[in-house]
Amino acid sequence: MLPRDIRRIMKENQRYADMLEYYDRTGRLPLRKVRRSFTLKDINFSHLKELSRKTGKSMSGILDEMIEKCAN
């Protein structure tokens, strides 16, 4: 396999590699969901709710994706 192909495969599967690294460090899979209470500004909540309605995704799913993008 060429190094170019290896880099492509690693990039495509980076999320899973990160999950396994987290498991190695903590001994827990990062798939468990945690329920927490937090506050948002009313305008941000309205934007989040509208985005959820347009995309058909849950609000928590949208937030999870946003946080994953910011964390990487």
Q: What percent of the chain has pLDDT over 70?
A: 97
46 and 61, same domain (yes or no): yes
Same domain, 13 and 26: yes
Q: Rounded to two decimals, what is the model's pTM?
A: 0.61
CA distance 52 to 46: 10
- Are 2 and 27 within one domain? yes
Say if residue 42 is in the same domain as residue 21. no
- Asked if residues 51 and 62 have their Cβ atoms less than 8 Å apart, the reply is yes
Q: How high is the pLDDT of residue 59?
A: 94
Give residue 18's domain range: 1-32
Q: Average pLDDT of 1-12? A: 81
Same domain, 28 and 42: no
SS3 40: coil
One domain for residues 28 and 52? no
